[in-house]
Structure 1
Amino acid sequence: MADHIDELNAGLREFRGAVHASLLDRVLCSVIGFGAEPSLVQRLLPMDELADLPAPGASAGTDFGPVFTFLRTSIESDARVLAAHRLPVHRPLVFFLSDGQPTDPVTWPAAFASLVDLSWANRPRMVAFGVGDADEEALSRIGTFRCYLSRDGIRLGKALIASVMHVLSTSRPPGNRTLS
Structure 2
Amino acid sequence: MTSPAGGARCLPTYAVLDTSKSMSRFQQLLNDTLENVYDGLWAKPAVSEFAHLSIISFNTDAHVILPMSDIGKIDSLPMLACGGSTNYGKAFRLIATQIDKDVTALRAQGRKVLRPAVFFITDGAPQDAGVWESEFAKLTAPDWPRHPHVITFGFGDANEAVLRRISTKSAFKAEPGVSQQDALVKVLVTLLNTLINSANSQNLALPTDIEGFRPIPIEFVD
- When the two structures are superposed, what TM-score results if normalisation uses the length of structure 1? 0.79
Q: 1:68 to 1:148 in 2, by over 3 A?
A: same
**Which aligned pairs between 1:63-78 and structure 2 lie closer than 5 A?**
63-78=87-102
Q: 1:12 to 1:88 in 2, by over 3 A?
A: farther
Q: 1:170 to 1:21 in 2, by over 3 A?
A: closer
The reply on whether 1:17 has 2:40 as its aligned counterpart is yes
Amino acid at match of 1:44: M
| Equivalent-residue separation in structure 2 for 1:3 and 1:9 (angstroms) | 13
Would you tell me which structure has more helix in proportion to its own residues? Answer: 1
Instruction: List gaps (5 residues or longer) in structure 2.
Output: 1-22, 205-222
**How much has 1:11 moved relative to structure 2?**
6.0
- Secondary structure at the residue paired with 2:55? strand
Q: 1:97 to 1:69 in 2, by over 3 A?
A: same
Amino acid at match of 2:203: S
**How much has 1:20 moved relative to structure 2?**
4.6
**How much has 1:126 moved relative to structure 2?**
0.6
Q: 1:157 to 1:66 in 2, by over 3 A?
A: closer
**Which aligned pairs between 1:21-100 and structure 2 lie closer than 5 A?**
21-48=45-72, 49=74, 51-52=76-77, 54-59=79-84, 61-100=85-124
**How much has 1:38 moved relative to structure 2?**
0.8
String of CA shifts for 1:100-127, please: whole Å, max 9, x gaps: 1100122211110111111222111111
- Secondary structure at the residue paired with 1:113? helix
CA contact (8 A) 2:31 2:80 kept: no
String of CA shifts for 1:38-88, please: whole Å, max 9, x gaps: 1111111124448445232421x1111121111101100111111222222
Alignment correspondent of 1:175: none
The percentage of aligned residue pairs carrying the same residue is: 24
CA contact (8 A) 2:121 2:153 kept: yes
The reply on whether 1:160 has 2:191 as its aligned counterpart is yes
Alignment correspondent of 1:171: 203
CA contact (8 A) 1:150 1:156 kept: no
Number of equivalenced pairs: 171
